[in-house]
Amino acid sequence: MHSTIKNTIVERRTIRHFQDTPIEETLLYDLLAKAAYAPYHNKVEPWHVIIANDMETKMFFLDKVFQSYKRNDVLKGISESKLEKIKEGYKQAIITPAVTLIVSANQFDDQKQSFEALAATCAFIQNFQLLAWNEGIGVVWRSNPFIFDPIFAQEIGVPENNKIVGALQVGYFSQENKPKVKERRPLHEWVKKAKIPYYNQK
């Protein structure tokens, strides 16, 4: 699948329903390597990626998700029947896609450095989504409660002093399941020309 940058940006959609077709590791690593050309001010890129693309690792990841939810009372008060549905939904969301990526960003004592690292990592993720889409691969960028749990991050191997930015589910998808275009707000609602205040000179 080939497209111009403009078309790829406009046509890309968040994909939540995947086929179980595996993604070649060489292709996955190539997409990550190219996504790493996201802009960043410092010498060393701030992002870190953990890959789960086999059943054993996916099940380990799933187990840690629910340990996190239990530890943090995320599912407190939910009925047993609804809990089973939630667990089954998470199981399908994590196991069916070919790959799950946990993407984190370096954090620093300096607020500006941390902000820049987070922003650059978001740009890296968007680069990856666009590159993947151009190969017929969909991505959903999730920010579920477990990504904010430092114990979860430690247990799955996120480096110390890193902040998880998202869990990405990645896989091939049927074009029939591609979501429709989500209309964007018109420019006049969110783009304004700068106005310089006029001050009376005395």
Virtual torsion, Cα 34, 35, 37, 42, nearest 10 deg? -140
pLDDT band of residue 201 (cuts 50, 70, 90) is: low
Sheet of 162-172: strands edge to edge?
A: 47-52, 99-106, 162-172, 137-142
Mean pLDDT over all residues of the chain?
92
Tens of pLDDT, residues 22-39: 999 999 999 999 999 999
CATH of domain 23-72+91-174: 3.40.109.10
Nearest to 106 by CA among 148, 49, 146, 61: 49
pLDDT per residue as tens digits for the range 46-100: 999 999 999 999 999 999 999 999 999 998 888 888 989 998 988 888 999 999 9
- Name the burial class of residue 67, with classes exposed (0-12), middle (13-18) and buried (19+) by CB atoms within 10 angstroms of its CB: middle
Q: Check if the beta carbon of residue 166 is closer than 8 Å to that of residue 143.
A: yes
Number of residues written out for the chain: 202
Domain boundaries, the chain: 23-72+91-174
Helix (H, G, I), strand (E, B), or coil: what is residue 19?
coil
Task: Report the C-alpha gap between 87 and 62 in whole angstroms.
Answer: 9
